[in-house]
Structure 1
Amino acid sequence: MLTDTYIPRRLDDQWKIGLWDIDVAAPVLFMLFVGYLASSLWGFCAAVAIGIYFARKMARTKADKHPAYALHWLYWHLPTNPVSSMRATPPSHIRRMVG
């Protein structure tokens, strides 16, 4: 009983790619792929620049918000489908709830 118990504080951290959260790194990775498909140096550079722009915009948007802000935004703004629908929460088109 005299030993200290370690209590983990970081169980629910978001996934990371290097130092970046997955939702900030995703636009850059997607645009790297699109730039590769362009098969030209200018197309690749333009796609990477666009990806970096959107990643910075995403990082600034979610700076003082909940860590899962991107997932919440996607839930409320994208249409539901059988893959992304949840049983415990109401559909996203129902904006008012009583109770």
Structure 2
Amino acid sequence: MADRYLLPRRLDDPELIGLWTIDEFLGLIIPFAWGILAQHILVGIFLAFIVWFALRKAKSGRAATHLLHAAYWYLPGSFLGLKATPPSHCRLLAG
């Protein structure tokens, strides 16, 4: 008798679009779309490959949250919705 319930083999796998995760797919499609709109298709393909490769290397062996942590510390505060970086004594209390 066949089981009535199907359980996925791996619950923690990221959602995929084709062969890529969502962030890798966006890293491919945004430079490619820019290349089409700017009528520089080969430059867009080249940039898409570079962005995909950089994301792949940045995420290798680590979760994507490391990229969010790097964005918090190295990008301007308004990028993630913060008006200013909190002082160091408050960051230690926040965790």
TM, length-normalised to structure 1 = 0.61
Residues 93, 27 of structure 1: alpha-carbon distance in 2 compared, 3 angstrom cutoff: farther
Shift, 1:77, TM fit: 1.8
- 2: CA distance, partners of 1:29 / 1:14: 18
Which 5+ residue runs of structure 2 have no aligned equivalent?
A: 1-5
Corresponding residue for 2:54?
57
The higher relative CO (CA closer than 8 Å, separation ≥ 6) is in 1
Q: CA deviation at 1:18?
A: 1.7
**Any idea what the Cα deviations from partners look like across 1:21-56, whole Å, max 9, x if unmatched?**
1222222111111111112xxx11111111111211
1:38 corresponds in structure 2 to: 38
- Runs of 4+ displaced beyond 6 Å: none
Alignment partner, residue 74 of structure 2: 77
- Where structure 1 has 5 or more consecutive residues not aligned to the other structure, the ranges are 1-5, 86-90
Percent identity reads 26
1:14–1:67 contact (8 Å) kept in structure 2: no
- TM-align CA RMSD: 3.2
Which structure has the highest helix share of the two? 2
